Structure 1
Amino acid sequence: MSEILNNEATAADNGHVLTNADFRGITLRSFTLMSSFNYERMQSLGFLYGIMKPLRKIYAGDDEGLREAMHRHMAAFNMTCAPSTFVMGIALAMEEMYAKDKTMDTSGVNAIKVSLMGPLSGIGDTFFWGIFRILACSLGVSFAAQGNPIAPFILLFVFNLPNVLVRWFGIKLGYTQGSSLIEKLEKGGQMQLVTHCAGIIGAVSIGTMIAMWVSINCPLVFQIGEMEIIIQDYLNQIFPKLLPLAATLGVYGALKKGLNTSAIIGGIVVIGFVLGVLGAVSM
């Protein structure tokens, strides 16, 4: 904690433009991360809203740079809410570097964001949903069982104290430590390697999410003599989760071609309905 405060004290000397007031604003706005969640871009709108004011400060006088930064942060983003400010801090540190050096590759910011979503979500889910929530509820229930009116406040306090602290110090740590780390990587010529590895981790994370969330099976069964041929079994032997992957890549291809999202959703409904009636696919 003291190291974070020391880093903040020397932020001006390192050329950083964000202050405590900016950190407070990001911390407060981070609580709206899920307020506009959607299945196209997930938390991206909340993420952009959280860093919007600092972005305007970083790109002051550079409207085109601000527009490009806003467009970058509209990419799909999804993770446990509390540690998300750490990613916001790193993203702002990188945007600060891009604003100063227009020759830098801006693809790194989203690669870093995607690579951090999985690991930080695993940590966040473990602590906030697996530990703090259970502890807070246990204490709240024990007070409520005794008829104590402060029971709900105990629950809210125990759960939200670490929640607020992680958000507050996460933004500071990501902004101060993240920028220095990125500068070292850039000077050492390792930034491209880190970006490449982050992209690999992101692709693996996306593949995992497809396997977990997209459920499409082929229920077709053929009878040849006494032998029963189940198509899905053969598909699993050739390529497990082949149909979910094909469907996801199809939607991705449609998005890359610029098709309207509503049209894509409508197409999925129609195709799914027809194939479902024919018995070719099932959920």
Structure 2
Amino acid sequence: MRFTKNVTPEDRKMLNRIFLRSFTVFASRAGATKTHAPGFMYSIMPALDRYFKDNKAEHRAAMMRHTTWYNITQNVGTFVMGLVASMEKKKAENSKFDAESTVAIKTSLMGPLSGIGDSIFWGVLRVIAAGIGISLASQGSIFGPILFLLIYNIPSILTRYYLTYAGFTLGDTFIQDMYESGSMKLLNKAASTLGLMMIGCMTATMVKFQTKLSIPIKGGKAILMQSYLDQLWKGLVPLALTLLCYWLLSKKVNVNWILLGILVLSLVLGLVGVV
């Protein structure tokens, strides 16, 4: 890709180290005020060590700059790491460069990038991977969990890698240009729509309800209640159950209690012969 073409061997070595270190960002947490700042600082340390190697005071100041709050969906967070590395390079080359702008831009990108990352990786890719994996695993295939991990992690790792280079080479105007052109809004809308479509498809295929209740007919064949439900609205019960779970989640009910409730409901309906 063009992001990696005009990069010197020294820059490539530094960016590869940042990329590898980025996997440890969520391994540390410095409370609610700084969150994953230690992990971010560790990730970009190759850039700080390189650009401020002979200036201990500036190196210390750069480290202090990045003790501020940091929290980005890490599938896309490496873009900020590459961008910060390029801005720290500017600071090392020009003492009059406003170092605080580095922190300001990093902070301003957290929301937009997390919105994109959550929509694409958590709302779409993870759902697709889980749908395929669950389908195979429910049939007893070992490829279920394997495909889940591959489908999710391969695009995620490639995105991390190339965004590290993109942040370093494109500079701090890239996101601003996307907003001004309307591309950011379009991308968020498309990702959200695709995510909702995938959730709808999974609801229709994964949530099952088949009742055994029937209406006896004297001298004839009993009428199954399921046939009436299907004529009224096929998949009505699974849809209603999904919407109920969504409503409970919107009311901040703990997801573990929802799962326990579904388990208990399934056992009760099975014992009384409803399903």
Sort the TM-score into its range (normalised by shorter chain). 0.5 to 0.7
Deviates more, 1:147-156 or 1:168-177: 147-156
> Offset of 1:23 from its aligned partner?
2.1
1:18 & 1:68 partners in 2: Cα distance? 22
> Offset of 1:67 from its aligned partner?
0.5
Matches within 5 A, 1:145-224: 145-178=138-171, 181=173
TM-score, structure 2 as length reference? 0.60
User: Among 27, 30, 52, which residue is 1:35 paired with?
Assistant: 27
2:111 & 2:6 partners in 1: Cα distance? 27
Q: Which runs of 5+ in 2 are unaligned?
A: 177-275
Alignment partner of 1:7: what SS? coil
2:99 is the alignment partner of 1:106: yes
Counterpart of 1:67 in structure 2 is: 60
Are the aligned partners of 2:73 and 2:113 in contact in 1 as well (CA < 8 Å)?
yes
1:71 & 1:168 partners in 2: Cα distance? 26
TM-score, structure 1 as length reference? 0.58
> Offset of 1:61 from its aligned partner?
1.1
Counterpart of 1:53 in structure 2 is: 46
Alignment partner of 1:154: what SS? helix
Q: Which runs of 4+ in 1 moved over 3 A?
A: none
- CA root-mean-square deviation: 1.8
> Offset of 1:79 from its aligned partner?
1.4
> Offset of 1:77 from its aligned partner?
1.1
Q: Give the number of aligned pairs.
A: 174
* Residue type at the aligned position of 1:40: T
Query: C-alpha offsets along residues 11-64 of structure 1, whole Å, 9 cap, x if unaligned?
Result: 47xxxx522x22222112111111112312011111111111221011111111
Give the number of the structure whose alpha-carbon radius of gyration is greater: 2
* Residue type at the aligned position of 2:23: F
2:6 & 2:136 partners in 1: Cα distance? 41
2:45 & 2:103 partners in 1: Cα distance? 16
Query: C-alpha offsets along residues 73-132 of structure 1, whole Å, 9 cap, x if unaligned?
Result: 111111111111100111010000001111111110011001100000000000011001
Counterpart of 2:6 in structure 1 is: 7
* Residue type at the aligned position of 1:111: A
1:5 & 1:124 partners in 2: Cα distance? 22
Q: Report % sequence identity.
A: 37
Matches within 5 A, 1:16-27: 17-19=10-12, 21-27=13-19
> Offset of 1:177 from its aligned partner?
1.2
2:19 & 2:134 partners in 1: Cα distance? 29
Counterpart of 2:109 in structure 1 is: 116
1:60 & 1:66 partners in 2: Cα distance? 7
